[in-house]
Structure 1
Amino acid sequence: MDNERLQYLLVRVRSSSCSEEEMAELNEWYEQLDDGPEQLKDWIEEAGGKEKLVDQLYANFSKKIAKPRNRSVASITRLSVAATIAFLLGAALLYYKFQNESIPDRSGMAQSKIQSDTNISKLTLADGTKINLDDAAIGELYHKDGLSISKTDSNSLTYRSTVALKPVTDPKMQFNTLDIPRGGQYKISLPDGTKIWMNSASTLRFPVTSNGRDRLVSLTGEGYFEVAHNKELPFKVITGDQQIKVLGTHFNVKGYPDEKLISTTLLEGSVRVSRYSSGESKLMIPGQQANLFQNSSHIALTKANINQVVAWKNGYFTFDNESIENIMNTISRWYNVDVVYVGKQSGERFGGSFSRKSDLAEILHNLEELGNLRFRIKEQKVIVSGTSEQ
């Protein structure tokens, strides 16, 4: 798609006049953006420069948040793929525009810009050896008994097996553990070709030997999986009260201990989700999300908002009709801050998308504009209060 056509379609999206055919065309372009924010930045420069687009998109964003709200839901947009594009561009452009400017003093936020550039992650080997991945140099970290572990870039780990794995009995199984703290993110490639992206505050326990029956991993937190197909060795993921069984597929699992929900979202292939406590299991198809709530014994299948689910992997926060508590849970994990609530919250719900490279104060400023909330950053804490408590 040439730049002139793309600019035309973005204008159509901004003005809510895009036809279904034009939305489909824009979706197709968006799906081809495999290189994320850097490719987006290149296109911005080619499409006429960021200054013009910043002014247009920021003006549109300001109009949206300034509109009187006659309902309790403050939402920027229903975040379908094409509808999200204009906002993603706006968020990315706002980051480029404001990254070298000071934030105005609002609720004490100007004096504390907590950035999200701390990726401190740890790998624990089967023998108990711990490797600080943040300090480790790029290159081979470990090589023994035909297994090689290499750090391929600042946030990626690759396992390779130079010999065929012979099945061992369960007592002799060996596991490695990858711990990703708050503020971190990592990608790991396993010897079978499976790729896993780990979100903040997550832990993955995975085998480095084979039992000849399956490939069983345990996840706490959130991970996106691209599982290599092997019908002889099904891939299984245990998260809390849930087990996922797959042969080869792409899916996202989110199950943080401090949340009352485990959600599995299927993008490609098929998986079977089972609940240990009730014995219930359901087969999923692409586009579905399986939800396991603590206060229910059933597995609920719903239609998934794919773009919202995998936004973290692509470098964004995307919220759609979310409570401030859910939003702040996500923010606290990425920016490595604790959240304190003062007074009773309004119950408002929010929608929007922001780059994960954005300054925390700028995100909180935008949330203030959208609802009856105020934020104050004090050391490693974000204090949330309603406007009536100010």
Structure 2
Amino acid sequence: MQKSHLIQYIKGTLHPEDKKAVIEWIREDVAHQKEFNLLKANYIASTIETLDDINIDEPFHTVLSKRKKKKKNYYVAAVVMLLVLPALGWYFSSSSSNTLIADVSNLFNFNTEIIHTEYGDHKTIKLPDGSIAILNSGSQLEYPKTFNDTIRAVTLTGEAFFDVKKDSSKPFIVTTETLKIKVLGTSFNIKSYPKDENIETTLVSGKVEVHEQKNKAPVTLLPSQRAIFNKTQNKIEVDQVDSQKIVAWRQGKLIFDKTPLKDVVSDLSRKYDIQFVIKSDSLLQYKYTGEFDNLSLEEVLEVLKISSPINYKHINNKIMLNSE
């Protein structure tokens, strides 16, 4: 397995098809599991080096020594891997009283569940605390089989609706490619596909905090508000929406309101497991408004053709879109 694929998987930027291969590789051999956990633990502990610079074969004390040389007043955790039967846990330890100590044995170990959905598929997941997650097409949710005593942490790639059981003593945190969403008890939707330009968090009920990973002040959402994080501009904008329309995908519906066509076809591609190609540059500026209520692919294409200036052709298992 290429190290670059493992790094992209940990960062949440790996393509869904490649993720399946990584998961299978991790599960097929204990040595693979140890290598993956070592790389992930280094990623957690690392604040100075980039992940690409980490040597997974290098002793932990050597890694720590290098970091101290780079920034003498900054102390990071030394990571010690303990093999605990029947599962492997993690513990941050220290040979110096100045080094931070943190037990993360409940966060990243072999007791982690990884649920993946194919294109065209949905899955409903009951989390360890009784919260419910509904995973949309081409998505992945990673979570521990048992939450620890202080936090309920999950990692999402793709789109999911969460109905979180209230527990004021244990915040529920969803980590995506760039954002962290913190809640105590609420229902909300997160759309965070690696290839999309935006990450969208839509609140249905309760209250959530949307945190950027770069320590900026969080954005607090109220019901029927959506936070849109643009990956290129690195900023969050909030707008008012009909939250029930946004989560209608759970019932097989797709509802668009002045949505750029490239975003429309991305959703259609994931739902119907087929590639769309926009052949006309003019269509890239087109915004579509409409609703597809449990329609077949052919019905969707006919609706697009009738309701917009779009023609289509099937070529080599792809849908080619042209302007009229």
Name the TM-score class by shorter chain.
Answer: 0.5 to 0.7
Counterpart in the other structure of 2:275? 338
Amino acid at match of 2:308: G
Give the direction of change, closer, same or farther, for the CA distance of 1:129–1:353 in structure 2 (3 Å limit).
farther
Q: Secondary structure at the match of 1:313?
A: helix
1:233 Cα deviation after fit = 1.2
Counterpart in the other structure of 1:203? 140
Cα contact 2:147–2:153 (8 A) shared by 1: no
1:350 Cα deviation after fit = 1.8
1:331-370 mapped onto 2 (5 Å cutoff): 331-346=268-283, 347-356=285-294, 358-370=295-307
Q: Larger RCO: Structure 1 or Structure 2 (Cα < 8 Å, ≥ 6 residues apart)? A: 1
Q: Distance in 1 between matches of 2:268 and 2:221?
A: 29
Cα contact 1:320–1:350 (8 A) shared by 2: yes
1:211 Cα deviation after fit = 2.9
Counterpart in the other structure of 1:128? 27
1:313 Cα deviation after fit = 0.9
Counterpart in the other structure of 1:245? 182
Q: Secondary structure at the match of 2:105?
A: helix
TM-score w.r.t. structure 1 length? 0.55
Q: 281, 290, 293: which is aligned to 2:218?
A: 281
Q: Which digits, 9 at most, give the CA deviation of each residue in 1:226-258, with x for residues without a partner?
A: 001111211000111100111110000001111
Q: Distance in 1 between matches of 2:193 and 2:240?
A: 21
Q: Secondary structure at the match of 2:282?
A: coil
Q: 187, 205, 209: which is aligned to 2:124?
A: 187
Q: Is 2:188 the partner of 1:256? A: no
1:206 Cα deviation after fit = 0.6
Cα contact 1:170–1:211 (8 A) shared by 2: no
Q: Secondary structure at the match of 1:170?
A: coil
Amino acid at match of 1:352: G
1:262 Cα deviation after fit = 0.6
Cα contact 1:219–1:239 (8 A) shared by 2: yes
Q: Which digits, 9 at most, give the CA deviation of each residue in 1:38-91, with x for residues without a partner?
A: xxxxxxxxxxxxxxxxxxxxxxxxxxxxxxxxxxxxxxxxxxxxxxxxxxxxxx
- Identity, % of aligned pairs? 28
Q: Secondary structure at the match of 1:182?
A: coil
Cα contact 2:134–2:161 (8 A) shared by 1: yes
Q: Is 2:130 the partner of 1:229? A: no
Counterpart in the other structure of 1:170? 104
Amino acid at match of 2:129: D
Q: Distance in 1 between matches of 2:286 and 2:127?
A: 42
Structure 1 spans left out of the alignment, 5+ residues: 1-120, 131-167
Give the direction of change, closer, same or farther, for the CA distance of 1:343–1:352 in structure 2 (3 Å limit).
closer
1:1-390 mapped onto 2 (5 Å cutoff): 128=27, 169-171=103-105, 173=107, 174=109, 175-277=112-214, 279-346=216-283, 347-356=285-294, 358-387=295-324
1:172 Cα deviation after fit = 5.1
Aligned residue pair count: 230
Amino acid at match of 1:298: K
Q: Secondary structure at the match of 2:27?
A: coil
Cα contact 1:280–1:298 (8 A) shared by 2: no
Amino acid at match of 1:128: R
Counterpart in the other structure of 1:61? none
Q: Distance in 1 between matches of 2:270 and 2:124?
A: 17
Q: Secondary structure at the match of 1:369?
A: helix
Give the direction of change, closer, same or farther, for the CA distance of 1:172–1:348 in structure 2 (3 Å limit).
closer
Cα contact 1:348–1:371 (8 A) shared by 2: no
Find runs of 4+ consecutive structure 1 residues off by over 6 angstroms.
none
Q: Distance in 2 between matches of 1:191 and 1:343?
A: 48
Cα contact 1:280–1:299 (8 A) shared by 2: no
- RMSD across aligned C-alpha pairs, in angstroms? 2.6
Amino acid at match of 1:171: S
